[in-house]
Amino acid sequence: MNHIRPSISIDKCILSFSHDRYISRKKANAAAIAKAEREIASNSNGISHLILRAVDDKIDHLKFLFLINGIPVMCYALGNLLISSLKEIVIIGSEEVEQVATTFLETVGTQGKKISFVREDPNKLNLFNTMQLGKHRLNIEPNELILFQPGDLPFM
């Protein structure tokens, strides 16, 4: 028996390198330690390591800028999308993310994709606002499917 599968094309993506910030480094560390303690208490096979931002950090501990083999994690995520069938990507992130993305794209090119950047609003760091920022930048048709790609999942 033949099965008919509708061909659904996703051409646009919101790539989020935006992440919330704790009010202080002390609160961020307490949250990370509490999560690890809960995982230890539950006899979890692994313990996650949270990389959290804090408003009072001198250097932004943005996990997307951490290096793997000398390359920021965000470049792996963006690089994978560049070799996909997507046609348009909007990147949401901080000033530092914009600098890294610009340098990365100047080095490897856009692979024919339309790529734009929207600066995150430090007073509205949440998933809903990130999605809205991306949605407003993309020209979306009614009922059009859009890929939302979190930047901390670079190998998906």
Domains present along the chain, CATH in parentheses? 12-20+62-150 (3.90.550.10)
pLDDT at 69 over 60: yes
In order of 5, 66, 83, 105, 113, the CA distances from 88 in angstroms are: 25, 25, 12, 14, 6
Neighbours of 15 (CB within 10 A): 26
- pTM, two decimal places: 0.81
Res. 3 pLDDT band, cuts 50 70 90? low
Of the listed ranges 15-19, 46-50, 121-125, 150-154, the least confidently predicted one is 46-50
Q: What's the mean pLDDT in 28-57?
A: 85
Which residues have CB under 8 Å from 77's CB, separation 6+?
15, 17, 64, 149, 151, 152, 153, 154
Distance CA 42, CA 152 (A): 25
Res. 1 pLDDT band, cuts 50 70 90? low
Q: What would the two tokens of residue 70 be? A: 């000398």
pLDDT > 90 in the chain, percent: 51
